[in-house]
A and B are shown apart, each in its own frame.
Chain A
Amino acid sequence: AQKVTQAQTEISVVEKEDVTLDCVYETRDTTYYLFWYKQPPSGELVFLIRRNSFDEQNEISGRYSWNFQKSTSSFNFTITASQVVDSAVYFCALNFNNNAGNMLTFGGGTRLMVKP
């Protein structure tokens, strides 16, 4: 069975602090994709990144970076120099039935509050 665990339910930081959101997953598949989505108060899930299980290179996109470690089944997300606009709920997700693409198992989410 697949499972995604986001142990941090809520994180509060002050603007310009760095923050890391943890994600641990379980799967029996050898090929899979991991995702991060952002859900602002408007409710729409915004895609941030997709990572193939064979690609363990870390990725950086502006203030965002992701650390994928297959050995520990983790896919952590770091925001550098956080801003108030980063306040949202962040979800880590894992796809199942790879042929279907985006049938996803989501974690419970981490609510990030960035205070000015």
Chain B
Amino acid sequence: DTGVSQDPRHKITKRGQNVTFRCDPISEHNRLYWYRQTLGQGPEFLTYFQNEAQLEKSRLLSDRFSAERPKGSFSTLEIQRTEQGDSAMYLCASSLGAGKTEAFFGQGTRLTVV
């Protein structure tokens, strides 16, 4: 499978716990994006990497959130001290080059905070 892969697909956690999600982009794609989608809404941009550099962060990304892409390949998104409001689908996407190419999305990680 050569698409964007996300792991885990589902995560249930207790409030206050830390969680980490992983995204493996399409191998030749140097740009990687994280989005969050709550039920019944469109995805909202969280952060963007070009290779290993995190170039843009949304104000939605509070200090409890951190994202990394250490070698410019896979990326992780960590949420510390989870809150019920963090319950959402977390989507990862990758693309090749600038605005001339489209982003390909993974199937997402659905987080439920209980």
Contacts and interface: CB of A to CB of B under 8 A. Distances in A.
Interface residues of B, number: 30
A47 B26 CA distance: 15
A50 interface: yes
B43 A45 contact: yes
Closest 3 CB pairs of A and B: A106-B42, A102-B103, A45-B105
Interface of B: 31, 33, 35, 40-45, 48, 50, 55-56, 89, 91, 93, 95, 97-108, 110
Interface of A: 4, 33, 35, 37, 42-47, 50, 91, 93, 95, 97-109
A108 B103 contact: no
Contact of A100 (B35, B43, B98): B98
Contact of B48 (A45, A47, A103): A103
A97 B56 contact: yes
A106 B97 contact: no
A57 B101 CA distance: 19
B103 A100 contact: no
A104 B103 contact: yes
